[in-house]
Every structure is written in C-alpha cells, then in structure tokens.
C-alpha cells in the first residue's frame, strides 16, 4: 500500500452506509483492537506479575483492547477505513 499524503487527524470519518463499507469498518476496528492489545501486553511485560492473576489479566486485556478500539479515540480504525474504502466498488447509485 502506498500512502500519498497523511490524513489529518481532525477529519470526521465517512459513515459506512453499504454492507461492504460496514464490514470494512468493522475489520478496521478489529485490527485497531489487535494492535492495542499487542501494545498493552508489551507494556505489561515491563511489570512483574504473579501466575494467579495471569488468566484474569489476559481476559481483561482482550476486553480492554476491544473497548478502546470501539471508542475510536485512537483513530487508527478511521485512518485505515479512509485509506481502504477508496478501493471499494463504487455504489453511488444504489439505495
């Protein structure tokens, strides 16, 4: 993928209207969630943990990353969506 110019962070993302656009946006949110999960886990490795809390911490990490991605404060999903939605088929004439 080639990035021609950066997308300003203060732009409002286009609202997904078609099923394809909605699926793409959901995929972008899932990718953002995965990225945030990896970032969070990497940060946690710097702090020692006991084995008793490890399972609960993993469940929390997963839910926390999904929550952060759904809130949209990071903007990664919006940036991905703006870049990738340009490659969806044109459906302007459809209701």
Note if the pTM is more than 0.75: no
Separation CA 80–CA 62 (nearest Å): 21
- Give tens-digit pLDDT for 17-45: 889 999 999 999 999 889 988 988 888 88
22: left (phi over 0), alpha (psi -120 to 50) or beta: alpha
Enumerate residues 6+ apart whose C-beta is below 8 A from 77.
25, 28, 29, 31, 32, 69
In a domain, 75, yes or no: yes
Q: What residues make up the domain containing 75?
A: 19-45+52-85
Spacing of C-alpha 61 from chain mean position: 15
In a domain, 10, yes or no: no
| Residue for token pair 């300003």 | 8
In a domain, 9, yes or no: no
In a domain, 5, yes or no: no
Counted domains in the chain: 1
In a domain, 63, yes or no: yes
Q: Is the confidence at residue 74, as pLDDT, over 80?
A: no
């Amino acid at each position: 993928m080639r990035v021609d110019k950066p997308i300003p962070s203060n732009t409002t993302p286009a609202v997904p209207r078609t099923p394809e656009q909605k699926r793409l946006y959901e995929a972008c949110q899932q990718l953002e969630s995965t990225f945030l999960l990896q970032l969070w886990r990497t940060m946690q490795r710097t702090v020692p943990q006991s084995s008793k809390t490890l399972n609960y911490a993993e469940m929390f990490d997963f839910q926390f990353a999904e929550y952060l991605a759904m809130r949209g404060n990071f903007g990664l999903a919006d940036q991905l969506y703006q870049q990738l939605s340009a490659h969806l088929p044109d459906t302007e004439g459809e209701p």
